[in-house]
């Protein structure tokens, strides 16, 4: 069963624009030419698994939300990436998870209190607080890097929805950039801007499921984030959403990624997929790829 899962992923991504590593091509890439191909990629299918790098990755001494981190992950496994757009003082959209600079850079204070020129002088830290050679990227830079390589999922931080919709339009990125939404109202905003916009919707309860259903948000334009834990209540959401063709995502970032050993984490990652999730988001996407391949 598990070996079939991983083999299915490799076959599936090949059919829909994926290039696997060879002597001429070092990255596992997802290259979609149209939003329709993106929508088909995210249609639920039994035994199909997608890995999502939360904030990119924190593995191998690489900083989160860095282009170098994204690219390194793709050297090891097919993956998509959840990233964090934030605004600078002069309204440049950058990638930074926290509102403040202190944890992830050698800067201090709020990003919103600094200009882009000032932030360009900073360096990113790895997960242990060590300075790296890498610098804060802009969202525009990340989008153009991702074109022909992977899918970006833009989390909702302090950037107005209008600005996010506009930058996706400017880059004509509907075939590889999706947006996280926390309510049917946010989902409707993006779909009214462009009917092809792919969504990552927070649907962690039956009440939220009913709200999206009532708002008539199309199921073929979304994946559903159902939470960070394996729990019995997930089964109802799996059944309802999967029947609609919607893939369900669990994020291990705040839970199982905190386990002490790589072996413990690998066991948890396999358990998430066995539970029924078809998208697994993690701070350790390369580890996830290894765990699913070796355990399948």
- Interval 34-50 mean pLDDT: 96
Q: Are 35 and 269 in contact (CB under 8 A)?
A: no
Q: Are 238 and 211 in contact (CB under 8 A)?
A: no
- DSSP states of the chain: -HHHHHHHHHHHHHHTTEE---SS--S-EE--SSHHHHHHHTB--TT--EEEEETS---TTPPTT-HHHHHHHHTTS--EEEE-EEE-TT--EEE-SSSBSTTTBS--SBGGGS-HHHHTT--BB-TTS-B-S--PPBHHHHHHHHTTT--EEE--SSS-HHHHHHHHHHTT-TTTEEEEESSHHHHHHHHHH-TT-EEEEE--SHHHHHHHHHTT--GGGEEEEEESS--TTHHHHHHHHHHTTB-EEEE-TTTGGGSSSHHHHHHHHHHHHHHT-SEEEES-HHHHHHHHHHH-
Cα–Cα distance, 294 to 95 (Å, whole number): 33
pLDDT per residue as tens digits for the range 196-219: 999 999 999 999 999 999 999 999
pLDDT of residue 69: 98
> In Å, how far are 19, 82, 139, 165, 191 from 188, measured between CA atoms?
34, 21, 23, 12, 5
- Percentage of the residues of the chain whose pLDDT score is greater than 70: 91
- Interval 54-62 mean pLDDT: 97
pLDDT of residue 6: 45
Query: Which residue has tokens 């598990």?
Result: 2
Name the average pLDDT for the chain: 93
Query: Is residue 13 over pLDDT 80?
Result: no
Domain 2-83+145-295 has CATH 3.20.20.190: yes
- Interval 124-152 mean pLDDT: 98
Q: Are 95 and 119 in contact (CB under 8 A)?
A: no
pLDDT per residue as tens digits for the range 249-287: 999 999 999 999 999 999 999 999 999 999 999 999 999
CA atoms within 13 Å, Cβ hemisphere of 24: 1
Query: Is residue 180 over pLDDT 80?
Result: yes
């Amino acid at each position: 069963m598990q070996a079939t899962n991983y083999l299915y992923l490799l076959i599936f991504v090949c059919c829909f624009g994926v290039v696997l590593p060879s002597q001429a091509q070092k990255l596992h890439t997802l290259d979609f030419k149209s939003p329709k191909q993106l929508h088909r990629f995210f249609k639920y299918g039994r035994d199909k698994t997608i890995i999502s790098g939360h904030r990119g990755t924190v593995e191998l001494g690489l900083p989160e939300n860095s282009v170098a981190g994204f690219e390194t992950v793709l050297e090891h496994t097919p993956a998509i990436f959840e990233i964090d757009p934030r605004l600078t003082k002069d309204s440049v959209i950058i990638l930074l998870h926290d509102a403040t600079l202190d944890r992830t850079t050698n800067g201090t204070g709020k990003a919103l209190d600094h200009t882009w020129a000032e932030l360009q002088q900073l360096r990113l830290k790895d997960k242990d607080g060590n300075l790296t050679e890498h610098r804060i990227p802009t969202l525009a830079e990340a989008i153009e890097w991702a074109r022909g390589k992977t899918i970006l999922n833009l989390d909702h931080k302090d950037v107005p929805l209008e600005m996010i919709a506009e930058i996706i339009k400017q880059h004509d990125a509907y075939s590889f950039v999706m947006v996280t939404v926390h309510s049917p109202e946010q989902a409707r905003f993006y779909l009214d801007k462009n009917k092809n916009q792919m969504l990552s919707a927070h649907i962690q309860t039956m009440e939220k499921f009913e709200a999206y259903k009532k708002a008539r948000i199309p199921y073929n334009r979304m994946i559903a984030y159902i939470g960070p834990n394996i729990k019995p209540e997930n089964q109802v959401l799996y059944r309802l959403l999967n029947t609609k063709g919607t893939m369900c995502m669990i994020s291990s970032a705040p839970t199982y990624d905190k386990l002490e050993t790589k072996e413990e984490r690998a066991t948890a990652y396999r358990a998430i997929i066995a539970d029924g999730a078809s998208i697994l988001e993690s701070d350790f996407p390369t580890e996830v790829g290894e765990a699913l391949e070796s355990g399948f």
